[in-house]
Amino acid sequence: MNIGQNDLGETKEKISVIVPIYNVESYVEECIKSICKQTYSAIEIILVDDGSTDNSGSICDEYAKIDTRIKVIHKKNDGLVKTRKVGLQQSKGNYILCVDGDDWIEPTMIERLYSILTEQKVDIVMCGRFEDTGDTHRPVFHGISEGRYNKQALLEKVYPNMIVNGAFFEWGLFPSVWDKLFRRECLEEYQMAVDDRLTMGEDAACTYPALLNVDSIYVLHECLYHYRQSTSSMVKQTTDVELQRKRFSILYSSVNKSFEKYKDIYDLREQWKEYLLFLMVPRADVLYKNIEKLDYLFPYKSVRRGSNIVLYGMGTYGQLLYKFIQSNNFCNILACADKNYLELSKQGLPVVPPDEIGKYDYDAIVVANSFAKVRNNIYKELSIMYSTEKIHLMDEDLIKSDESLWAFGLI
C-alpha cells in the first residue's frame, strides 16, 4: 500500500523527491511520513543513505516495504554533494524536489509548487520556510517580492540582489535547493557540476548558477518547508583547521569560476565574495589569518580583548562566537541572552532572557547576529533598556575592508 496515494496518481506527471540521509534516526521517520502523505501522489521518493552508522538506513528500508514509491539506496559515506548526485542519477521524474533527512514538509507542498510551476509556465518555483527550534516555528521568506519573473525581470529585479539584498547580510533568494521545485533540465547540469569536496555552501554552488541560466521563476511567499535547527546541527564543523581553510578555498574558487563562465548573463562575483564573508565571519577563529594578534574581538572593533561582555544571540553565529571566546579567554562572558531562551536552555545552552542583562556589570553587549535587519531590530529593542554606548553590532565596514578580505584569503 502507498501511504497517501490515490487512484489518480498514475495519470499525473511524476515528481522525484530526493532525500539525502545521514545519521538522522531521531528525525527521518517524520521526514519520510511528510513526503508519503503529500496531496500530490504521483511521486517517487529516493532515499539515499550516505553510510549512516545509526538506524537511519533500516528505518528507510521499513518504509520502503509499505510504500512502493520509495526507493532506498545505501552507499558508503562520502558527503552530501555525492549523495544528491546519486539520488539525481537514480531518479526518473521530469521535476525534482530535494528534502533534507532531518527536515519535513507541509502536506500540500508538492501540489502547491507543481500547480504554480505548470500554470505560470516557469522553470523554478520556490517557497518560504519555517525555521523550527523545538516547538518554535519561525516563518522566513525570500527577500525578493512574490510573483513571476521572466528573463527581463530576472535581469532587472532579481540578479542585482539575488545573493546579497543590499545590506550585509540580507538574502535575495535563498541558496537552498530544498525550498524549490525544479524542472529537471534546470537542475541536473548544475548539481552534477558541484565539486564533491564541498561541505558548506554546496547548495549555493548549484542553485545560483542554475538561476542564472533559467528563463523564468516564481517566488511564493508561503511557508511549506520545515527547516529543523538544533544545537548540534547548527555548529557542526571539523576541528581540522587546514581542512576548513581548504574547503572554503575550493568553494570560493570553484563557484567563482562558474560565475566567470556566466558573467555575460549577469556578473555575480562581487555578491559571491560577500556571501563567502557571511559564511567565514562566524568561523573567523580559524579562517582569519593572525586573528590571535588582534587586540579587539573581530568583527567588533570597539570591544577590546579582556572586556566583560554579555553575548546577545545564541543562534548559529552566537554559538560559534561563544565557543571561540570560551576556548581562548578572549573576553569574559558574564552571560548569554536570547529571546528564545526557553528552547535554547532545553538544548543545554546557558541562556538568560534579555530583561536580565541589567543584573550584570558588563563593559559591552555584543549582538551576535549576521543579518542586518535582525541585528538592527535587536539594537532598537536593547536601546530602550540599556545604554547604547555599550551595545555593539558587527562592523560591516571592517568586514568588507581590504584588511579582512586579505585575512580571509579573498584577495
Residue 96: give its domain's CATH number: 3.90.550.10
Same domain (yes/no): 300, 331: yes
Residue 406, in any domain of the structure: no
* Contact present, 93 and 184 (Cβ < 8 Å): yes
89 lies in a domain?
Answer: yes
Residue 380 lies in a domain: yes
State residue 235's pLDDT score. 42
**What pLDDT does 7 receive?**
46
127-142 pLDDT, tens digit per residue, is 999 999 888 899 999 9
Query: Among 21, 113, 110, which residue's Cα sits nearest to residue 72?
Result: 21
Could you give the number of structural domains in the chain? 3
In this structure, the answer to whether residues 221 and 344 fall within a common structural domain is: no
Given this model, what pLDDT does residue 346 score? Answer: 86
Task: Mark the ranges of the chain whose per-residue pLDDT is less than 70.
Answer: 1-11, 230-239
One domain, residues 132 and 276: yes
Specify the pLDDT at position 28: 98
Same domain, 63 and 180: no
Domain stops at, among 74, 102, 130: 102
Report yes or no: 370 and 319 within 8 Å, Cβ to Cβ: no
Final residue before a domain boundary, out of 102, 120, 155: 102
> Is there a single domain that holds both residue 198 and residue 228?
yes
Answer whether residue 227 is part of any domain.
Answer: yes
Q: What are phi and psi of 167, to 5 degrees?
A: -125, 160
Range of the domain at 298: 288-397
The pLDDT value recorded for residue 238 is 56
Long-range Cβ contacts of 315-318 (<8 Å, 24+ apart): 315/229, 315/234, 315/368, 315/369, 316/234, 316/235, 316/282, 316/370, 317/281, 317/282, 317/368, 317/369, 317/370, 318/368, 318/369
**C-alpha torsion angle, residues 80, 84, 90, 91 (rounded to 10):** 150
Tell whether 41 and 177 lie within a shared domain. Answer: no
Each residue of 68-85: pLDDT tens digit? 999 999 999 999 999 999
Residue 405 lies in a domain: no
What pLDDT is recorded for position 2?
54
Task: Write out the three cell numbers for 228.
Answer: 529543523
Residue 381 pLDDT: 96
Residues 116, 97, single domain; the answer is no
